[in-house]
Structure 1
């Protein structure tokens, strides 16, 4: 089944599903910030560094709030991104880094509305 996009070039249904999956993964601002931040890092990064970056952007620096961010990352957002092969997440070392799918996903970050 072919679907036409705005510029009238055909795309397959599978392409549309893949694009939808990317947008679902990027639908939460913490996942977008995580991918954007990791794109600036050359080595595995601590989850704490990602938490600090998110807390800074969310303008809330209390320890309690940072712990809430950490919990949401470790239990929800990072596993979702890792399952999609966007990041490598080592829960034992509490480190993350971009993975193979990240390059294609990063091109869509500009299309997702910023908070």
Structure 2
């Protein structure tokens, strides 16, 4: 009896582990999903929608972005090509991955799309890596603190805690600016998808 209960517990644990593994999107799958501009455009448009979007409406906007035109300027052939491609290839692929719900000619994002957000952020071309920036700022802080330790920096007329306070303020301002830039370049905050 004890062995049977232990076996049942193990089976339940294995089933739970299988469920969470099934729900996880692997990096390779995420990069594959995001490798096509039509899928990125569709996700971008759906992020701005509160309700399910008709496939025809989605296809019009994706075609407009593809051809760098307004929706009203899209030719029938351009609209049809995009519609067919979304219907037959891209939306079923996103639906199988659990990112969208594509049913009865309407498309809606699933909660699972939030797992893609980290891969959808845009890094401006002229920016330095935030990791390198913080590494440099940390090296500067270490130099200042070391200089204070060996009495190299003047402390006459300047409170000793002024230097660490300035360093902390530099980190706080940098972190605030970093948060602002990350928010500004979030995929869903851009007017047109990249």
TM range (shorter): 0.7 to 0.9
TM-score by length of 2: 0.46
* Residues 51 and 70, structure 1, Cα contact 8 Å, conserved in 2: yes
Q: TM-score normalized by structure 1?
A: 0.76
Structure 1 unmatched ranges of 5 or more: 1-16
Q: Deviations over 1:51-96 (max 9, x none)?
A: 1111111126110111010110000000000000000001xx3100
Higher relative CO (CA 8 A, sep ≥ 6), structure 1 or 2? 1
Instruction: Name the larger-Rg structure.
Output: 2
CA RMSD after TM alignment:
1.9
Q: Which ranges of 4 or more aligned residues in structure 1 deviate by more than 4 Å?
A: none
**Structure with higher strand content:** 1
For these two proteins, the number of residue pairs brought into alignment is: 96
Match of 1:108, SS? helix
Where do 5+ consecutive residues of structure 2 fail to align?
A: 1-24, 124-192
1:98 to 95, 99, 109: 109
Alignment pair present for 1:62 and 2:75: yes
Q: 2:38 aligns with which of 16, 24, 30?
A: 30
